[in-house]
Structure 1
Amino acid sequence: MSTPQPPMPQTAAPNWQAAPGSSYPSYTSPIPVVRTHLGHALASEWTKIRSVRSTMWTLGVFVLLVVGIGLSVAALIAGNASEGSLSKENPLSFGFFGLLLGSMCIITLGVLTTASEYGTGMIRTTVTACPSRGRVLVAKSIVFFAVAFVVTLGSALLVALADVSMLDAREPSGQEWLKGTLGISLYMALLGLLSLVVGSIIRHSAGAITIMIGVLLAPLVIALFMFSESLQDLQQALFEYSIPNQLSVFYSQSLSNSGPSGWDPLWIMLGVTAAAFAGAYALLEKRDV
């Protein structure tokens, strides 16, 4: 028979008592907590745009096209022009060809600034860090516009100074200097900003770039094949308001005899970009990321 085991001694139930509040001092984080504002979003977007390789590549190719083609055209003309044949020409106008090709680089960078984040999923991190979507779009726009304007102005000014020194042409007026450097730089930056907004609306890099290349070249190409007399008015409008013609207006050599003149192309691009920005802002607040 088994020997019965003595009963185990029972321990008293613990008497849990809530500690008085005064025994736990309040915790203060060593990390300063500040209210976020647009400046923080600008700093974030500046870090992004200068740290990705696509920015360096696109801007590098842009400068190469604008400066390389601008100087090459001027050198070619200077070497083959007869004496006095350029006396009435604006020497700044020969920078047009490089800027026209370089605009595709500005368009590409503008689209990638927004659309690439949707492709990689980075936009979720961006919106988590800054829940105000409108602030994100404004910050991206300001940073991109500043970068595009400064790079374009530096490139256009370099080509302008070189062309004036290389060509035996008349001295440009102050208005021509202003339009051929500052005006064209503002226009190019707005064109890139329009691409950025389209990228935010489409949310697909290849699709948005295709749309913007079409906006750049399609009106002029379509107008070239309108031979019917019934389409004369439409053909003329496409010529006048195409982006290549608007670029040429800044050099006082419009491709058409009518249409925008003076600073009109800048106001047209500003109005179109503002309307597209308003649409992108409204969509950004309604759609999921």
Structure 2
Amino acid sequence: MSTPQPPMPQSAPAPDWQTAPGASYPSYTSPIPVVRTHLLHAVASEWTKIKSVRSTMWTLGVLVLLVVGIGLLTGALVSASDQDLGGESALGLGFFGLLLGSMCVITLGVLTTASEYGTGMIRTTMVACPSRGRVLAAKGIVFFLVAFVVTLVSASLVALVHVAMLEGQGAAEPTGGEWFKGTVGISLYIALLGLLSLAVGSIVRHSAGAITIMIGAVLAPLVMALFMFAESLRDVQQALFEYSIPNQLSIFYANSLSDSGPSGWDPLWIMLVVTAAALAGAFALLEKRDV
């Protein structure tokens, strides 16, 4: 006697879209809007990064402290000494604070790119934005604007205080052109110097190494020139004096270390060309190397 078999389960009827031969699945529309990404999205991302990390607050805080603190201290010492400035512009007293403050801009510029290679965060960045050139461009735009604005505000504050403080000590009233060069011009130069550091950080991919290279580029030519006593090296010494970054900074205040060499707005154009070349190299290497 055969054992009765259990009834087979009834399968659910096929949906209407499956019954017709060759029928396709229904389309799905995501509720999340799909937007084609562009450079401004990368800029927004880099702005979020740069304002979130502690290194930005520390370096920019020290920058403001050096520029404003040393500037006010210098102005106070000159004012207390009752020294007659002999018709010189009071704007030049801000040079010392800006020279030291430029080291903070260099440091932040390097960290903007090189620190991501040290932590490995660059891999996440490139996954989120596969266009490597767009990432580097966004970093450069955000950093340049931040460095320029902070330097401009600090330099302008110091300049206003110096002119008001030393008005009765024979200081000449700065012209409009002198104001523009001593605030906007020198801020553009320092921001470009930081952008050059950013490019070097992208090329070297090592924070300490890139910072060392940039500080050497700022200080080494002037230090080398000071110890060149041989007559045969006189022309080399003169060139190092003229094209050293401290001398180019002083040109914005009409206080060049030499009577020849760059003048007027020449330092800004020189730095612009050097920075553009470094950025071109950084873009080229970024596309060729692994992250």
Verify same fold: TM over 0.5. yes
Quote how far apart the aligned CAs of 1:175 are.
Answer: 1.2
Quote how far apart the aligned CAs of 1:257 are.
Answer: 1.9
Alpha-carbon distance between aligned partners in 2 of 1:8 and 1:101, rounded to the nearest angstrom: 96
Structure 1 residue 181 and structure 2 residue 183: aligned? yes
Alpha-carbon distance between aligned partners in 1 of 2:3 and 2:264, rounded to the nearest angstrom: 106
Aligned to 2:207: 205
Matches within 5 A, 1:229-244: 229-244=231-246
Aligned to 2:155: 156
SS class of match (1:161) = helix
Aligned to 2:66: 65
Alpha-carbon distance between aligned partners in 1 of 2:231 and 2:184, rounded to the nearest angstrom: 39
TM-score in terms of structure 2 length:
0.93
Q: Which runs of 5+ in 2 are unaligned?
A: none
Q: 1:38–1:86: structure 2 CA closer, same or farther, 3 Å change rule?
A: same
SS class of match (1:32) = coil
2:135 is matched by which residue type in structure 1? V
Matches within 5 A, 1:3-152: 9=5, 19-20=18-19, 24-82=25-83, 85-152=84-151
Q: Which runs of 5+ in 1 are unaligned?
A: none
Quote how far apart the aligned CAs of 1:255 are.
Answer: 1.3
Deviations 1:160-204 (A, max 9, x none): 000001112110111111100010000000000000000000000
1:249 is matched by which residue type in structure 2? I
TM-score in terms of structure 1 length:
0.93
Alpha-carbon distance between aligned partners in 1 of 2:86 and 2:149, rounded to the nearest angstrom: 31
Alpha-carbon distance between aligned partners in 2 of 1:7 and 1:228, rounded to the nearest angstrom: 116
Alpha-carbon distance between aligned partners in 2 of 1:176 and 1:263, rounded to the nearest angstrom: 11
Moved over 2 A (4+): 5-25
Deviations 1:5-36 (A, max 9, x none): 95673876998979247695321111101100
* CA RMSD, Structure 1 to Structure 2 (Å): 1.9
Alpha-carbon distance between aligned partners in 1 of 2:127 and 2:208, rounded to the nearest angstrom: 26
Alpha-carbon distance between aligned partners in 1 of 2:138 and 2:95, rounded to the nearest angstrom: 30
